[in-house]
């Protein structure tokens, strides 16, 4: 029997019958009455806009910074493995500031019991959502049997979702690719989507490109595989009752608004991190609500108490200010701002005065709201 069939049998034995019909040879799924799932706990508008989980980038300091620009965006942690959560320093790994809400914990793992236990720990820490990573293409992810390689095991993913749904009362979502390697995206994405729907997933976030686990590096996988937004649109059209969020290569809020004509939500990744000023207009443009702060300098004033508190706890200034590099992109003085932080933020004992001095180098006379 294939790994797909074995995983499905395991799931059925553990959890009882599901409304899933499987062709093991084709490794595809057909799901009956998917709209009849119980315990779906989601408000679609809450997923209208989000900032993607990004390794080494979306840590707690980054999320506090982003939250000062948008009240409505859903924020995500970096991916944390179930092993790290079950056996590591949970306070360090999972701790976050209350102002980050709504914030989701992204998990990496494949063993249903471990996923359930880690999800419950995340819920107890106060996270608003548990997200399962089925899209990361790095070698270490593949070796650990989690991330994008799980696109080849949709029944195992469904079993993990089912276990997490039984363990927590908050939404459980999945982030995936449209396929991996030589998979046909029409079959692979449909199998993954319908499997996790049958298991009770609350939403599916789709990075609209394949991941090539054989032949491309993780960095190349972010750019080289072609984007196929239409494939995600077709998925939504075939699953009108399932919240579908699109991700991948979306560079602006205007592009995000165009996608919202076809799907329920949009997730911005590198554009939100590298040019965070884009988030200043997210609430007005996508939700019709006022932004928490109108200029980037106002944002920095708002987060200054948080920075001071973190410094008092022993956090190095550079650990926080490294997320600010693109804050004034295109504004006179932006280069001097970046240089000042790079040269002085790394020094032992660097304090908020370093950030204030850097901000002072940005031209106040610019009319654009990005500065002041």
State the Cα–Cα distance between residues 160 and 156, nearest whole angstrom.
Answer: 6
Exposed/middle/buried for 262, CB within 10 Å: 0-12, 13-18, 19+? middle
Q: Decide: helix, strand or coil at residue 205.
A: strand
Rounded to the nearest angstrom, the gap between the alpha carbon of residue 149 and the centroid of all alpha carbons in its chain is 18
Residue 295 DSSP one-character state: S
State the Cα–Cα distance between residues 289 and 282, nearest whole angstrom.
Answer: 9
State the Cα–Cα distance between residues 329 and 308, nearest whole angstrom.
Answer: 25
Closest CA to 155 of 113, 199, 219, 213: 199
Please list the active-site residues.
136
State the Cα–Cα distance between residues 77 and 54, nearest whole angstrom.
Answer: 8
CA distance to 128, 132, 354, per residue, from 198 (Å): 22, 16, 53
Say which residue the tokens 């990075």 belong to: 207
330 Rama class: left (phi>0) / alpha (psi -120 to 50) / beta: left
State the Cα–Cα distance between residues 20 and 211, nearest whole angstrom.
Answer: 26
Angle at 177 between CA 50 and CA 85, to 5 degrees: 65
């Amino acid at each position: 029997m294939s790994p797909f069939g074995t995983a499905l049998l395991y799931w059925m034995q553990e959890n009882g019958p599901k409304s899933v019909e499987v062709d093991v040879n084709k490794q595809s799924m057909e799901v009956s009455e998917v709209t009849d799932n119980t315990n779906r706990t989601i408000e679609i508008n809450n997923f209208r806009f989000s900032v993607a989980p990004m390794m080494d980038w979306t840590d707690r300091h980054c999320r506090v910074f982003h939250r000062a620009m948008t009240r409505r965006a859903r924020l995500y942690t970096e991916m944390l493995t179930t092993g790290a959560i079950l056996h590591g320093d949970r306070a360090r790994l999972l701790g976050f500031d209350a102002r980050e809400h709504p914030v989701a914990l992204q998990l990496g793992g494949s063993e249903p019991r471990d996923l359930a236990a880690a999800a419950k720990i995340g819920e107890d820490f106060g996270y608003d959502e548990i997200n399962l990573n089925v899209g990361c293409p790095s070698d270490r992810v593949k070796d650990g049997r989690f991330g994008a390689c799980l696109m080849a095991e949709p029944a195992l993913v469904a079993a993990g979702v089912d276990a997490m749904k039984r363990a927590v009362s908050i939404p459980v979502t999945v982030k995936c690719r449209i396929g991996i390697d030589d998979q046909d995206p029409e079959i692979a994405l449909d199998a993954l989507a319908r499997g996790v729907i049958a298991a009770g997933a609350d939403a599916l976030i789709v990075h609209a490109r394949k991941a090539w686990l054989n032949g491309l590096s993780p960095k190349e996988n972010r750019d080289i595989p072609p984007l196929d937004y239409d494939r995600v649109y077709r998925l939504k059209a075939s699953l009108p009752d399932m919240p579908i969020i699109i991700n991948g290569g979306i560079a602006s809020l205007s592009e995000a608004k165009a996608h919202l004509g076809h799907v329920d939500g949009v997730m911005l990744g590198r554009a939100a991190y590298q040019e965070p000023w884009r988030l200043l207009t997210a609430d007005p443009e996508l939700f019709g609500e006022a932004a928490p702060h109108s200029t980037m300098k106002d944002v920095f004033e708002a987060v200054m108490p948080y920075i001071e508190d973190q410094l008092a706890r022993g956090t190095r200034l550079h650990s926080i200010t490294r997320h600010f590099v693109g804050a004034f992109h295109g504004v006179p003085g932006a280069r001097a701002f970046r240089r000042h932080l790079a040269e002085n933020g790394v020094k032992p004992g660097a304090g908020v005065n370093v950030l204030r001095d850097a901000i002072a180098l940005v031209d106040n006379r610019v009319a654009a709201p990005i500065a002041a």
